[in-house]
Chains A and B, each alone.
Chain A
Amino acid sequence: MKNKTKFGALMLLSASIMLSGCSVTTKNDVTESPKPTEGTEAVVDSGPVDIELLGMSSNEADINIIRDQLSKNGFNVKLNVQADYGSFKSQQDAGNFDIALSSWTTVTGNPDYAVRSLFKTGGDYSILADPEIDALIDAAGAQTPAEYTETYKQFEQQLVFDKAYIAPLYNSLKAQAFNKEVLNKDSVRISKSRSLPWEALDFNDTSKRDKDALVLQSTMPTLTSLDPIKGNDGSINIINTNMNVRLVNLTDDDKITSDGSLSYNHAIADGNSEYYFILRDNINFAQIKNKLAVDTGERVGGDDVIFSLDRAKDKNSVPDHRTFTLHEHIQKVELVTDAAALDSVKVSGGSDTVKAALESGLGAPISSLVSDKTQASSKDGKYQVVKLTTTEPFPQVLNYLAHQSAGIVSKKQVESINTYDVAKFDVNKDIPYGDQNTVTEGSAYNNTLYASGPYILSSKNDYEAIFYKNPAYMTGTENEPKIKNIKVRFIKDADSSLAALRSGEIHLYYGVSETKYDVVKGDSKLELQTIPSNGVSYLLFNTKNRPVATSADLRKAVLYSINQDEILAYYSGNKFKAISTLSPLVSTGLELKADAAKVKEFLNAYNTSK
């Protein structure tokens, strides 16, 4: 009897499951049956197409999203994930990829920089060679903002949609978090393009300025070079920006300004080919003696400016010159010694003279122009004026002058260190100015840096780098550095950096990941600052020895597999859509829409042509 009821109960149970089973939707029900493609094109070899995606493990989330999107569109994705940028770059240089997950930040804030070294034939970072693309880049460079939008639209149409050299992913936010119990909230700037200015930073408790060190963070303990023209990457951009002053700066929203720069004022002469800068007389170079910063007594002046810019534009001024393409538009840099010459030139788009423009807001008007920098004295009206001429009308040159690679170095010091012959440079014997080994603790330590900026690097090891304020940098002005000692701690891992910030080990953490915003906001002693940045992530297609190099159809199939809406959803709206590296700077109105039908079409075309 008991058995029977048990059996009956089981039958009832199974029957109810079966009944409910009838209303269960299976996977086949939800996946639409593939519709026959219109027309009668023959489908050749519809098996998945192999594609190799190269990326860094720090971008694991992006890699997973792309892998997912590509494999849903009929690709067989092979991942090549490298642990750090060095091994990523060597894999990229070796050509071991079909698509490489790349990113670019336009630190100068001008559109020309966003495309020139990336996509122009022979550019520093370019693997493309397409005359049509080159022509459009050159054409847009010479145009005013009103004109270049249309040219850049054509450029994006070519680069992304017609030829599919890149597949854009997203434009990022720039985010930094800091300890508001330690740092004065109003002293921490976040700018769209320029690096964080250290001289503005201040403690809440100003009595600590001389006693306590401010601790910042960086991921890369190997510094490319402290010679500003020899590096342009994340390891040194912030450091070199704060060690060398420039002729102009960028504001937080990417306008050109003379504030906090070596010039009191600057002016563009009519014709957009001549640029004038009136120099300060209150900055001296600092150097390190006994590991502490001291004033060299040598003023930063016109001869240093001319020397620095001449070597910046000259490919052969140093071995491993990494930034000359940024300055290729500079034709000539010279001192103006005749004040009358300034009176005869009008400013671009105005009726004022250049002299009036340079004098505006100065305590004493120009009484004479001096050629010897030691003779300059602004309170007596004795100034130095530098004139820069470009090869063609090119207003964006000012953005490049605001870049760290246009930092002013000491003519005397650099010439005394770089005594080697550039053509016969021997990396084992010759020690160039700014070599990171000369500032690394150990037997090779011999700090020969001369810093024109607010801070100077004293020494570094794999754990941290120690900076001191330049004692003769705009003293008595608002731009005088507040905090005496800054330490940059090298922490590779993002989670560890955030943990260090929260435990108070570091005071400011630049580059908080989108997925950690909630954590930062939830911590009462932290402040999160975000601003739309000029950073864009994209997929770069290989241009050699791979099917993607020859088949635009295959590239387009990848392009239309990318769904930016999904990426935005993953980052909960903390990323923006992008079309190319120009997107944060120029709004061309183009948009990439994922389209599975197009992917199929292009894949068929690729398979037929194979």
Chain B
Amino acid sequence: MTNPSITKQEVQFRLKSSQEYGQASFSGIVSLALALVLLLNSYIPSTGAFKPVVLIASLTYFIFTLLQLAVWSLIRRDLIQFGAIKRSTRLLGYVLLLSILSANLFIATAAFQLLKVKKSSAYTLSVYAALTTLLVFAVSALNIFKPYVANGFLIGMFLLIIVTVLQLAVVLLVAKYADKPILPRFMWVVAFILILTSVSGNLFALFLGLLLIAKLRDKGHTSGSKLGEVVERLSRSSTSMLGLLFILFLLTLSITSYLTFDYGMAIDNNYSLILQSPNMAYPLGTDNFGRDLFSRIVFGARISLVVGLMSTLIPVVIGGVLGAISGYYGRHTDNVIMRALDILYAIPGILLSIAIIAAFGASTVNLILALSVGAIPTYARTMRANVLLVSTLEYVQAARAFGSSDSAILFKHIVPNSIAPMIVKSTLTIGTAVISTSSLSYLGLGVEPHIPEWGNILKLGSAYLETHAFTAIYPGLAIIALVLSFNFLGDGLRDALDPKLD
């Protein structure tokens, strides 16, 4: 039965404006690509045979891809015929949810979105929070195949289970109550538990907790909090949410690894296990000193994240303050600050870092400082431009007319309204900082060679690129994934924070 009355444009509009349709096609394509990659990996050209484990994984991905594509065509049909997705189609989401067991995040997140008709930001956050913890739990659980595990492993895993259970319960609660204009009082408890679980590094839980508290305090007086709006807009883009998911997954893993991972595996040489191919005990294989690559990459995430975040935060703060002052006061202040920063800007960033490290020695703190200093001028310029723009607006003039002090005007009225571009810029440059850290370590200028840092791991692996490619591929993929995640997040944030796109 076709509906002859709708035009081609109408069909296009219906498809384009449906989030579920976009997500279904995105996850279907990515999942298909992954299935193909796995299939290629399972093939052993020398013998013509297939590796059974990888082949099974590939087949699972193919099955879920087919399911996803079937659901995609159903959604398409529903949208074209009825202009909305039918309940029966939505229920298929439960089947697709099973894909989480094969670690197929793309289909799982699409399924969560498909299940719920009206998606509030709280629901999205709760789903992502639970997914993050579940993933961390699954990845940490791989340690069980090792000859021995860290001393805190059992406690760590037990805590992770509790957190997973709590957060899954929250998903159900939020799905039921969050859409109501006034939240029930027990949501206070839920919010506090969420904030408590965010100690693991799961910032989704923290955001959700804050969102719930804001809603509880608001008591339905306003249409919603600013955070809620941002999350809602951000969640429209699958890529940026997946980026954020990966970043927070790494953050959570970095923090929980204090309990669940054994540092010795990553740093102590074990000569009986040199260059083992990936297997159950060593999921990503071992390097040329017999150290577990999986543990090394997990511990390396800590350094990469800390260095990436810190070396972005420092120039954001310093550059932001300098830029704000110079933009607000103008004239001589502006001239002095900006010309001084221009001089700094004239020195190539990576050379400056190399010089700083050569002068003060290689250590994590010096690395952060070296990467920070070179980035200050660009942030100052961004901030200055925003402040120049905002300070001419009416509300600033009003504040001035009321006799507010300069500092009050600057930090209460101007800076909060010019911070959005800084946030976007910083998420985009964290990726660069991660790459710079790895480049410097690769050059032997970063952290000490035996410390697990992604650049270090990649450097060791690059010597075995031909004979044992996995030693270079996995750290390389980790770097790519993290940088890509930050870039996607930055893209999404730019859209989410831009009022013009409303």
Contact = CB atoms under 8 A, between A and B. Distances in A.
A27 B466 contact: no
Contact of A515 (B150, B272, B464): B464
A63 B271 CA distance: 15
B149 A10 contact: no
Nearest to B273: A569
Nearest to B462: A495
B463 A495 contact: yes
B142 to A, nearest CB: 13
Interface string B228-270: 0000000000000000000000000000000000101000110
A14 interface: yes
A341 interface: no
A3 B150 CA distance: 34
Contacts of A569: 271-272, 274
Nearest to A63: B449
Contacts of A495: 463
B466 A10 contact: no
A205 interface: no
Interface string B120-155: 000000000000000000000100100111110110
Given A10-B168, A61-B288, A566-B269, A28 B141 contact: no
A515 B165 contact: no
B148 A30 contact: yes
A60 to B, nearest CB: 6
A79 B363 CA distance: 12
B168 A570 contact: no
A462 interface: no
Interface in B159-181: 161, 164-165, 168-169, 172
B450 interface: yes
Contacts of B289: 61, 64-65, 68, 570
Interface in A205-222: none
Interface string A407-426: 00000000000000000000
B9 interface: no
Contacts of B169: 7
Contacts of A10: 164-165, 168
Contacts of A26: 148-151, 153-154
Interface string A16-37: 0110110011111110000000
Given A17-B157, A522-B466, A570 B148 contact: no
Interface residues of B, number: 34
A17 B466 contact: no
A176 to B, nearest CB: 19
Interface in B254-312: 262, 264, 268-269, 271-272, 274, 288-289
A553 to B, nearest CB: 26
A518 interface: yes
A61 B459 CA distance: 12
B411 interface: no
A79 to B, nearest CB: 6
Interface string A334-366: 000000000000000000000000000000000
Nearest to B141: A17
Contacts of B151: 26-28
A72 interface: yes
A365 to B, nearest CB: 60
Interface in B20-60: none
Contacts of B141: 17
A29 B147 CA distance: 11
Nearest to B362: A81
Contacts of A57: 444
A110 B150 CA distance: 52
Contacts of A7: 165, 169
A68 B268 contact: yes
A279 B264 CA distance: 65
A60 B271 contact: no
B448 interface: yes
A373 interface: no
A286 B168 CA distance: 87
Contacts of A30: 147-148
Contact of A27 (B150, B161, B271): B150
A572 interface: yes
Contacts of A572: 274
A67 B450 contact: yes
Interface string B176-201: 00000000000000000000000000
A17 B165 CA distance: 14
Contacts of A61: 288-289
B467 interface: yes
Contacts of A566: 269, 271
B449 A60 contact: yes
A21 B157 contact: yes
B158 interface: yes
B273 to A, nearest CB: 10
B460 to A, nearest CB: 9
A6 interface: yes
- B151, B269, B272 interface centre (most CB from chain A within 10 Å): B269
Contacts of B161: 13-14, 17
A569 B274 CA distance: 8
A29 B153 CA distance: 13
Contacts of A67: 450
A68 B274 CA distance: 15
A30 B164 CA distance: 30
Contacts of B264: 27
A399 B99 CA distance: 74
A570 B467 contact: no
Given A18-B158, A24-B153, A25-B148, A515 B269 contact: no
A27 B262 CA distance: 8
Interface in A247-280: none
A519 interface: yes
Contact of B269 (A60, A65, A79, A83): A65
A82 to B, nearest CB: 11
B262 to A, nearest CB: 6
Given A14-B165, A495-B463, A25 B149 contact: yes
Interface string A54-89: 000100110111011000100000010101000000
A72 B268 contact: yes
A515 B157 contact: no
B288 A515 contact: yes
Contacts of B144: 20, 24
Contacts of A25: 147-149
Interface in B453-477: 463-464, 466-467
Contacts of B450: 64, 67-68
A79 B271 CA distance: 21
Contacts of A6: 168, 172
Nearest to A565: B271
Contacts of A3: 172
Contacts of A21: 153-154, 157-158
A570 B264 CA distance: 18
Contacts of A60: 449
Contacts of A72: 268
Nearest to A28: B151
B272 to A, nearest CB: 7
A122 B336 CA distance: 62
B148 A29 contact: yes
Interface in A27-54: 27-30
Report, nearest first, the 4 A-B pairs whose CB atoms are least far apart.
Answer: A569-B271, A68-B269, A25-B148, A14-B161
18 contacts: A6-B168, A6-B172, A7-B165, A10-B164, A21-B158, A26-B149, A27-B149, A57-B444, A60-B449, A63-B449, A64-B450, A65-B269, A65-B289, A518-B467, A565-B271, A566-B269, A570-B269, A570-B288
Interface of A: 3, 6-7, 10, 13-14, 17-18, 20-21, 24-30, 57, 60-61, 63-65, 67-68, 72, 79, 81, 83, 495, 515-516, 518-519, 522, 565-566, 569-570, 572
Given A6-B172, A518-B467, 9 more contacts: A7-B169, A10-B164, A18-B158, A21-B154, A26-B150, A27-B151, A27-B262, A68-B269, A68-B450
